[in-house]
């Protein structure tokens, strides 16, 4: 093990949000590579009774139950638990961080500044105030902030006054889709279709997508993936419209092979967001050789290296025009967006950010690649 990885000795990883959409994709893909980089006794996993990754991922980790995120129990018990376990560094891949600094070093991943930037589409005033409170508290506690995009890093510096030297940009990996051979989806429509993948909150712009889809005369379908009726702040109006349209198919969160099949078989993936801190599903589609139509947002342009058809956020007419165009075009060749790397590289840079000087480590990157191929 390199000297840069020797101290601090114990890393706690907060997995209490591992089923939460994009955050779940993030932590479950990072975890195997962190385990490959660290000795078994070094990594501690915090889980809840209802939210934990597959036990096979946790086989070599020291697993401990913790209170659910965004609760009083989290504030009272998580700091005590981490100190009792002798944790040196705690990584919170979401802003659900105790207000009291629990360990010598805290690392927080900030995916976006939705509750600061997005206004009413992020939810009611109480929801936004709660989100801003947690975000500001996490930023105050953190010794280092990790973010997947330069856009979000810039927003942290400009909006919250964070020292740029405390922010590390580590883009997400893409090999979780490249490792799945496309196959025929078991749930795809029997006609050409567009696909959306994500949560059903208001800032995702599903209403805009339904408006655009309603303008199409062609015999096509629309598949909306990621519906969770128990999720907070759902766009209930858009969901009701989708349920009432026989051409629209609502699907819950899908397995990774099924998701790859759905994206690969689509005419195009549509990302109609009104706000984003990254654009992972758009990058996934590009890598799989599927057309992408997306809102013209800085984070999505960054994630896709601008390899998409863009429309002004909220403009259903322009979106519909792009949808008509791609219906008559062949699928593009798969390509790997140059801004994205493997999860092994992301994990290696993360370990270096925690235990080193914040710059990527060639030794850590090589070790992570060895772990991926083992």
Question: Helix/strand/coil (H, E, C) string of the chain?
Answer: CCHHHCCCCCEEEECCCCCCHHHHHHHHHHHHHHHHHCCHHHEEEEECCCCCCCHHHHCCCEEEECCCCCCHHHHHHHHHHHHHCCCCEEEECCCCCCCCCCCCEEEEECCCCHHHHCHHHHCCHHHHHHHHHHHHHHHHHCCEEEECCHHHHHHHHHHHCCCHHHEEECCCECHHHHCCCCCCCCCCCCCCEEEEECCCEHHHCHHHHHHHHHCCCCCCEEEEECCCCCCCCECHHHHHHHHCCCCEEEECCCCHHHHHHHHHHCCEEEECCCCCCCCHHHHHHHHHCCEEEEECCHHHHHHHCCCCEEECCCCHHHHHHHHHHHHCCCCCCCCCCCCCECHHHHHHHHHHHHHCCCCCCHHHHHHHHHHHHC
Judgement on whether residues 101 and 198 belong to the same structural domain of the protein: no
Q: Are residues 29 and 117 in the same domain?
A: yes
Q: Are residues 146 and 20 in the same domain?
A: yes
Looking at the fold, whether 315 and 222 belong to one and the same domain comes out as yes
Assess whether 125 and 184 both reside in one domain.
no
Task: Report if residue 333 sits inside a domain.
Answer: no
Does residue 249 sit in the same domain as residue 168? no
The C-alpha atoms of residue 294 and residue 302 are separated, in whole angstroms, by 12
User: Are residues 224 and 292 part of one domain?
Assistant: yes
Residue 290 resides in a domain: yes
Dist CA 8 CA 136 (whole Å): 26
Pair (305, 221) in one structural domain: yes
**Residue 336 domain-assigned (yes or no):** no
- 334 inside domain: no
> Domain check: are 231 and 152 in the same one?
no
- Look at the chain and report how many structural domains it folds into: 2
Residues 140 and 29 in one domain: yes
Q: How many residues does the chain have?
A: 374
Is there a domain that residue 145 lies in? yes
Residues of the domain holding 125: 3-172+341-373
**Same domain, residue pair 107 and 164:** yes
Does the pTM surpass 0.75? The reply is: yes
Q: Is residue 59 part of a domain?
A: yes
**Residue 332 within a domain:** no
Per-residue pLDDT 10s for the chain (374 aa) are 344 444 447 899 999 887 767 788 898 889 989 988 887 678 899 998 877 777 777 777 889 999 999 999 999 999 999 999 999 999 999 999 999 998 999 999 999 999 999 988 888 899 999 999 999 999 999 999 999 999 999 999 999 999 999 999 999 998 888 766 656 777 778 899 999 999 999 999 999 999 999 999 889 999 999 887 776 667 888 888 888 888 999 999 888 889 999 999 999 999 999 999 999 999 999 988 899 999 999 999 999 888 899 999 999 999 999 999 999 887 776 665 555 578 999 999 999 988 875 444 444 344 434 433 33
Q: What is the CATH number of the domain that holds 54?
A: 3.40.50.2000
20 and 164 in a single domain? The answer is: yes
């Amino acid at each position: 093990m390199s000297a840069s990885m020797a101290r601090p000795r114990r890393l706690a990883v907060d997995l209490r949000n591992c089923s939460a959409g994009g955050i779940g994709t993030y932590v479950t893909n990072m975890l195997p590579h962190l385990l490959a980089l660290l000795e078994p006794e070094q990594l501690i996993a915090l889980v809840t009774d209802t939210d934990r990754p597959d036990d096979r991922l946790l086989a070599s980790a020291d697993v401990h139950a913790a209170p659910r995120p965004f609760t009083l129990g989290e504030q009272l018990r998580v700091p005590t638990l981490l100190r009792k376990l002798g944790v040196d560094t705690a990584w919170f891949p979401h802003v659900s961080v105790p207000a009291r600094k629990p360990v010598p070093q805290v690392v927080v991943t900030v995916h976006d500044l939705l509750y600061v930037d997005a206004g009413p589409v992020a939810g009611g005033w109480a929801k936004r105030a709660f989100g801003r409170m947690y975000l500001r508290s996490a930023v105050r506690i953190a010794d280092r902030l990790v973010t997947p995009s330069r856009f979000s890093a810039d927003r942290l510096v400009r909006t919250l006054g964070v020292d740029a030297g405390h922010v590390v940009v580590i883009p997400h990996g893409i090999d979780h889709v490249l490792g799945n051979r496309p196959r025929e989806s078991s749930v795809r429509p029997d006609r050409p279709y567009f696909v959306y993948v994500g949560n059903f909150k208001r800032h995702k712009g599903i209403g805009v997508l339904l408006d655009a889809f309603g303008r199409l005369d062609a015999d096509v379908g629309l598949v909306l993936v990621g519906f969770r009726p128990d999720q907070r702040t759902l766009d209930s109006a858009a969901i009701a419209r989708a349920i009432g349209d026989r051409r629209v198919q609502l699907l819950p969160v899908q397995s990774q092979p099924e998701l790859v099949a759905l994206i690969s078989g689509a005419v195009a993936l549509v990302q109609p967001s009104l706000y984003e801190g990254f654009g992972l599903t758009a990058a996934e589609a590009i890598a799989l050789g599927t057309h992408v139509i997306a809102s013209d947002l800085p984070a999505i342009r960054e994630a896709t290296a601008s390899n998409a058809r863009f429309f002004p956020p909220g403009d259903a007419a322009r979106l519909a025009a792009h949808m008509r165009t791609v219906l008559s075009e062949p699928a593009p060749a798969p390509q790997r967006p140059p801004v994205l790397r493997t999860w092994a590289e992301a994990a290696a840079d993360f370990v270096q950010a925690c235990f080193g000087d914040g710059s990527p480590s060639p030794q850590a990157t090589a070790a992570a690649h060895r772990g991926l191929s083992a």
